[in-house]
């Protein structure tokens, strides 16, 4: 089967598919043709843009694409509130999130942009309380080893976290979240971390629509990225993959009433 299949009765040779994919497609007498199919990354833009639904792509089938709902309107005011209302949630209810809702949350992450349409981000959901507790303790143990003989700001903050945990029992690693989501990519995947950041950002933005909150597990990530073997062994990730991100997930304990301001962005014009 050819990479590109064109319905000659529907195609009006408008050239839109060519314009959104200038490196693969060229217009011929009978319509668009994949001149360099080996360069196709399967992004599906040629199929998505066609006003006649006349083109199909083996790597991004027309049958898998969904038409826009023209009745849905997302104006700038709604978009602003949607984006600005995202919060890093550090206090969670202890109720577990149903598997169906967690899968819906993860599913949206796969639509995030990835370099070269590489995709490849997968997820492991940790909900076992014993594993979560062990992950917290191992991270604190790693932090204790890092503060010895160090006097940088970050390591001084480690000491504060450790103190709060020992004196008050506070979990400043996973914030007592009932779930964490570990993102993984193949070890040889270029820009796996960047792809993960986009994917988990989609996940974080979508979470409030399901009544959920999220927060990046930054201290856990630091421990993992330092290749702390006891923590890596705990999560038992396949040998051909590596952890590229970690996010806490759960029902927020508190409801925020206002949108926090941020510093003005610096803009230059050339």
Question: For residue 201, is pLDDT > 70?
Answer: yes
Question: Residue 251 and residue 207: Cα distance in Å, rounded?
Answer: 10
Domains and CATH numbers, the chain: 4-64 (3.30.70.20), 83-250 (3.40.109.10)
How high is the pLDDT of residue 74?
86
Closest-CA residue to 128 (of 180, 173, 204, 203)? 180
pLDDT tens for each residue of 95-121: 999 999 999 999 999 999 999 999 999
- Mean pLDDT on 66-87: 90
Work out the number of other CB atoms within 10 angstroms of the CB of residue 250.
25
CB 4 within 8 A of CB 33: yes
Give the closest residue to 213 by CA, choosing from 170, 181, 245, 166: 181
- What is the bridge-based pairing of β-strands 122-126 and 55-57? unpaired
The pLDDT score that the predictor gives to residue 155 is 78
pLDDT score of 66 = 92
Q: Is this model's pTM higher than 0.85 or not?
A: yes
Four-CA torsion 144, 149, 155, 161, nearest 10 degrees: 40
d(CA 113, CA 43) in angstroms, rounded, equals 10
């Amino acid at each position: 089967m050819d990479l590109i299949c064109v319905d000659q009765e529907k195609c009006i040779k408008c050239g839109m598919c060519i314009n959104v994919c200038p490196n693969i497609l060229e217009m011929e007498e009978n319509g668009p043709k994949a001149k360099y199919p080996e360069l196709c990354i399967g992004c599906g833009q040629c199929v998505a843009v066609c006003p006649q639904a006349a083109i199909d792509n083996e790597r991004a089938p027309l049958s898998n694409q969904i038409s826009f709902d023209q009745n849905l309107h997302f104006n700038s005011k709604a978009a602003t509130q949607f984006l600005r209302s995202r919060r890093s949630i550090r206090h969670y209810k202890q109720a577990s999130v149903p598997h169906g809702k967690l899968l819906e949350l993860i599913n949206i992450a796969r639509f995030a942009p990835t370099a070269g349409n590489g995709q490849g981000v997968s997820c492991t959901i940790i909900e076992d309380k014993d594993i979560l507790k062990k992950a917290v303790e191992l991270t604190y143990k790693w932090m204790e080893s890092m503060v010895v003989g160090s006097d940088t700001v970050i390591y001084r903050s480690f000491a504060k976290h450790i103190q709060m945990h020992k004196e008050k029992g506070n979990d400043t690693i996973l914030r007592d979240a009932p779930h964490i989501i570990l993102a993984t990519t193949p070890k040889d995947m270029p820009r796996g971390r960047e792809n993960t950041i986009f994917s988990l950002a989609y996940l974080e933005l979508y979470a409030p629509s399901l009544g959920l909150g999220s927060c990046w597990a930054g201290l856990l990530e630091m421990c993992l990225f330092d290749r702390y073997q006891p923590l890596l062994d705990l999560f038992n990730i396949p040998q051909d993959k590596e952890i590229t991100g970690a996010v806490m997930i759960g029902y927020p304990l508190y409801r925020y009433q206002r949108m926090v301001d941020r510093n003005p962005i610096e803009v230059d014009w050339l």
